Amino acid sequence: MTASPLDGVRVLDLSQAIAGPMTGRVLADLGADVVKVEWTNGDITNRFGPVRGGITGVFLHMNAGKRGISVDRTAPGGTELLLRLAAKADVVVENFRPGVLDRWGLGYEALSAGNPSLVMVSISGFGRTSQESQRQAYAPVLHAEAGLVARQSKVDNMPMTDVAVSLADEVAAMHASIAVLAALNMRQRTGAGQHIDLSMLEALIATDDHTSEAIDGRADINDSRGYVWEVVGGPLLISADLRTTWARLSGHAALVDPTPGGAPVEIKVANRREAMRAWLAAFADRNALKAELERANLAWADVRDNSTLFENASLRDGRAVVQVDDHAGGTRGVVRMPYRFSNAESTARGTAPRRGQHNAEVLADWLGATPVEIAALSGQGALQTGD
């Protein structure tokens, strides 16, 4: 059997929603034994979207391949149980507001006291030491604070609106995963663990190729987007700004600018745009148009939605999606992480757990707990199961 990069690594996932769970999901695909702790109120991502076998699609995506336990930290033995699990973990992932776990006796200081080699990543909106550390920080808040909302409005000349993806969460998860892997690598040299403070706002601006414009104080914005055109067979995106598209099409297809000399630049832009639109729309065959764009050295894309996403030729072989148990007698697809190693395996290792599904299994595996001890924890309410 092919080994996985993180075989033998234990991860205690105390997080919920997206940024933290996605970090755990990445580590699980890489082979780590990730145990998701669901609290008494469950995970918010299990409340949105179609439910199958007690879980939603987004919950499945964020938590595939993990084992799940449910703990009431306020019940007798609840906090102690979490401390014992953390003492056996290599990594702890959390995304509570800064200070919450400390007040519960589960912060880094408490966890590392029993496990000095522990790597813990704390994901928050603005960072643990920020003056705004206690602000609510959902993804749309970070999109606005990071300049994404205003920029999109300016380049589109449209009213401001949020982006239609939890980008702040996903980007933070990717950086958190990188930081955890780096800390584990450093631990191999030093033997010591450490606490990683990861700000979602900083993750966004660190990943934004336009941040340098803000640092330099540029008021104008470099328009690096693609533009969508209505052509035969439906919308098609050309990955170039209007000036570049005109330069390549006018040279390749001999398009002529109809604008008279001395006309305002706005008229020139509008006329050139109309000339390009008319040329693109004149094709009766979509493949012929794509071939011409290739010859003009213009990259194109079919504009897909949920109904056509997996018709992309690069996704038709099915390797991007793994079928896992749906908890209802069938299977359900989940996207695997996009890492394809030449000598290691990375994939979704199973479905997402039902709340408390692996209580007994994890406690026996990680702690050597006996059935009597597990029954006692369940009886006093420290261990819970789903409805």
Q: Which fold has domain 10-212+318-384?
A: Rossmann fold (3.40.50)
Max Cα distance, the chain (Å): 90
Q: What is the pLDDT of residue 170?
A: 98
Q: Find the mean pLDDT for residues 343-353.
A: 96
Q: How far is CA 371 from CA 72, 359, 383, in A?
A: 19, 11, 13
Q: Find the mean pLDDT for residues 246-269.
A: 94
Q: Find the mean pLDDT for residues 200-213.
A: 96
Does domain 227-309 match CATH 3.30.1540? yes
Q: At 2, is the pLDDT very low, low, confident or very high (cuts 50, 70, 90)? A: confident
Tell me: the pLDDT tens digits for 146-169?
999 999 999 888 999 999 999 999
Amino acid in the structure at residue 16 = Q
10-212+318-384 and 227-309: identical CATH topology: no
Tell me the pTM.
0.94
Q: Find the mean pLDDT for residues 249-263.
A: 93
Cβ-in-10-Å burial (0-12, 13-18, 19+) of 247 comes to: middle
Q: Find the mean pLDDT for residues 81-88.
A: 98
Q: What is the pLDDT of residue 317?
A: 86
22: which residues sit within 8 A by CB, 6+ positions away?
62, 169, 170, 173
Give the count of beta carbons closer than 10 Å to the beta carbon of residue 173: 29
Q: What is the pLDDT of residue 219?
A: 84
Tell me: the pLDDT tens digits for 33-80?
999 999 998 999 999 999 999 999 999 999 999 999 999 999 999 999
Q: Write down the domain spans for the chain.
A: 10-212+318-384, 227-309
- For residue 256, pLDDT over 80 is answered with yes
Catalytic residues: 169
Structure tokens at 150: 């205003």
Report d(CA 92, CA 105) in Å as an integer.
14
- For residue 173, pLDDT over 70 is answered with yes
Q: How far is CA 369 from CA 49, 143, 360, 376, in A?
A: 36, 45, 8, 11
Please report, rounded to a whole number, the percentage of residues in the chain having pLDDT higher than 90: 94
- For residue 221, pLDDT over 90 is answered with no
Name which of 359, 361, 338, 360 is nearest 348 in CA terms: 338
Q: At 387, is the pLDDT very low, low, confident or very high (cuts 50, 70, 90)? A: low
